[in-house]
C-alpha cells in the first residue's frame, strides 16, 4: 500500500481501511481524525495513553496505512497543522491555557464554551470542501422536494433547515418520526428528491437506515456528519464532514448550525441566479397592436 503524502489523502485512506481495522486501531483512527492536532504534536506514548492502547499499537496503525513508523505518519499531520494561520494557532493556545485554569463559575463556563465555539468554526471552514458545498447547493436548488432528517442532538439542525428552506418557497418536509411513523414517512420520497440527513457519533440507527432507503428510492442524500468514518457517508451523494470531536462531554451545535445557515443562504443565491437566467433568456413580448381610431 502506498502511503498518503498529504492530510486529505490520509483522511480518505483511513476512511477506506477503517472497517478492516482491529478495535484498537479503529480507536486510534477515530482519535486521528477527530483530534489531528493532538496527534501532530504528541509522542507515541502520549497518543497511546489518550487512546487507551499500547504504544506498539501506534506503530501497527502507521504500518497499516503504509508508513514505516509513527514518526513518518506524524509528519503528514504536522504538515496539516503548519498550513493553518498563526493567528488561529494562537487562539487555540490561549483557549487551552484558559481551560487549565479550571473556572467552573457560570461566567467561566460561558467563556470556555464561547472559546470552544470559535475554535469549532475555524475547524468548520477548513473541513468543508468548496466543491462539496457547491454540489449540495445545486442539488437542493433543483430538487422537486427536500426531506430533512435528524434525531437526538442533531435534531435542531433539521428543524432549522426545514424552517429556513420553506421560507425560500422550496417544498420541504421535516421527517421527525412523530408517533413512530418515520418508516411510513419515507414512502413520500420520490426519485430526484433530496434527503438532507444529519447524524453524529453516536449515530442514530434510524437516520442511517433512512438514508440507505432514500438512496434506494432514487433520492440524492446530502449527509451532515462528523467525518469519513460516519456510516452516513456510504449512502451520501455529497458528504459534509465537520470533524466533530466526539470526546467532548458537551458537544456544541454551533458548527452544524453555521453550516446549515450557509447551505440555506447559498441555496437562496443559487435560486436567485437561476431566476435571473430564466428571465434573461425569455423572449421579449410582442408590442401591443394599436387600436383603430
Per the CB < 8 A criterion, the answer to whether 128 and 259 are in contact is yes
* pLDDT > 90? residue 88: no
| pLDDT, position 291 | 43
Q: At what angle do helices 130-142 and 254-281 cross, to 10 degrees?
A: 60
Answer yes or no: is pLDDT of 147 > 80.
Answer: yes
Enumerate residues 6+ apart whose C-beta is below 8 A from 156. Answer: 150, 253, 257
| Pairing assessment for the beta strands 194-198 and 220-225 based on DSSP bridges | parallel
User: Which range among 103-117, 171-185, 194-208, 249-263 shows the weakest confidence by mean pLDDT?
Assistant: 103-117
What angle separates helix 7-17 from helix 23-34, to the nearest 10 degrees? 150
pLDDT-derived band of residue 12, with 50, 70 and 90 as boundaries?
confident
pLDDT at 99: 52
Superfamily holding 130-246+253-274: Glucose-6-phosphate isomerase like protein; domain 1 (3.40.50.10490)
105-126 pLDDT, tens per residue? Answer: 666 667 777 777 777 787 787 7
d(CA 56, CA 86): 33
Kindly indicate the confidence band of residue 202, based on its pLDDT and cuts at 50, 70 and 90.
Answer: confident
Is the model's pLDDT at 252 over the cut of 90?
no
pLDDT of residue 83: 65
Q: Which residue has the higher pLDDT, 35 or 208?
A: 208
Confidence grade of residue 219 (pLDDT, cut at 50, 70, 90): very high
Cα–Cα distance for residue pair 139/137, rounded to 1 Å: 5
Fold topology of 7-82: Arc Repressor Mutant, subunit A (1.10.10)
pTM over 0.75: no
The tens digit of pLDDT for each residue in 187-198 reads 889 999 999 999
Structure confidence at residue 85 (pLDDT): 47
**Three cell numbers written together for 169:** 418557497
pLDDT of residue 292 exceeding 50: no
Domain ranges within the chain, ordered by starting residue: 7-82, 86-127, 130-246+253-274
Mean pLDDT, range 143-149, rounded to an integer? 95
- How many residues in the chain? 293
Determine what percent of the chain is predicted with pLDDT higher than 70: 83
* Predicted local distance difference test score (pLDDT) of residue 293: 36
The more confident residue out of 113 and 23 is 23
Strand order in the sheet with 238-241: 172-174, 146-150, 194-198, 220-225, 238-241
What is the rounded average pLDDT of the residues 177-192?
A: 86
Partners of 146 in the β-ladder? 172, 194
- End-to-end CA separation in angstroms for the chain: 88
Distance CA 58, CA 45 (A): 9
How sure is the predictor about 96, in pLDDT bands with cuts at 50, 70 and 90?
A: low
CA separation, residue 39 to residues 22, 49, 109, 121, 130 (Å): 19, 12, 27, 20, 26
Using left for φ > 0, alpha for ψ between -120 and 50, and beta otherwise, residue 52 falls in: left
Mean pLDDT of all residues in 129-146: 94
User: Do residues 147 and 188 make contact, with C-beta atoms less than 8 angstroms apart?
Assistant: yes
> pLDDT-based confidence at 29, cuts 50/70/90?
very high
Question: For residue 32, what is its C-alpha cell?
Answer: 486521528
Query: Mean pLDDT across the chain, nearest whole number?
Result: 83
Amino acid at each position: 500500500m502506498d502511503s498518503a503524502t498529504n492530510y486529505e489523502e490520509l483522511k480518505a485512506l483511513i476512511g477506506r481501511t477503517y472497517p478492516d481495522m482491529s478495535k484498537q486501531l479503529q480507536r486510534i483512527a477515530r482519535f486521528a481524525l477527530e483530534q489531528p492536532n493532538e496527534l501532530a504534536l504528541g509522542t507515541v506514548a502520549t497518543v497511546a495513553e489518550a487512546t487507551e492502547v499500547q504504544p506498539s499499537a501506534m506503530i501497527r496503525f502507521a504500518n497499516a496505512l503504509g508508513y514505516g513508523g509513527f514518526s513518518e505518519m506524524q509528519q503528514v499531520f504536522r504538515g496539516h497543522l503548519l498550513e493553518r494561520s498563526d493567528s488561529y494557532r494562537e487562539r487555540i493556545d490561549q483557549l487551552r491555557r484558559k481551560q487549565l485554569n479550571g473556572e467552573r463559575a457560570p461566567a467561566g463556563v460561558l467563556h470556555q464554551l464561547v472559546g470552544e465555539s470559535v475554535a469549532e468554526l475555524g475547524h468548520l471552514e477548513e473541513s468543508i470542501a468548496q466543491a462539496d458545498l457547491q454540489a449540495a447547493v445545486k442539488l437542493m436548488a433543483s430538487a422537486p422536494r427536500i426531506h430533512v432528517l435528524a434525531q437526538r442532538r442533531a435534531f435542531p439542525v433539521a428543524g432549522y433547515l426545514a424552517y429556513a428552506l420553506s421560507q425560500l418557497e422550496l417544498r420541504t418536509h421535516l421527517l421527525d418520526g412523530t408517533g413512530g411513523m418515520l418508516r411510513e414517512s419515507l414512502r413520500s420520497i420520490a426519485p430526484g428528491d433530496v434527503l438532507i440527513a444529519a447524524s453524529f457519533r453516536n449515530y442514530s440507527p434510524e437516520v442511517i437506515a433512512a438514508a440507505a432507503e432514500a438512496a434506494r428510492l432514487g433520492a440524492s442524500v446530502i449527509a451532515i456528519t462528523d467525518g469519513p468514518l460516519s456510516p452516513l457517508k456510504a449512502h451520501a451523494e455529497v458528504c459534509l464532514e465537520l470533524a466533530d470531536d466526539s470526546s467532548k462531554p458537551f458537544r456544541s451545535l454551533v458548527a452544524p448550525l453555521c453550516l446549515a445557515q450557509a447551505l440555506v443562504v447559498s441555496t437562496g443565491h443559487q435560486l436567485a441566479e437561476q431566476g435571473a437566467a430564466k428571465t434573461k433568456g425569455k423572449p421579449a413580448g410582442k408590442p401591443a397592436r394599436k387600436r383603430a381610431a
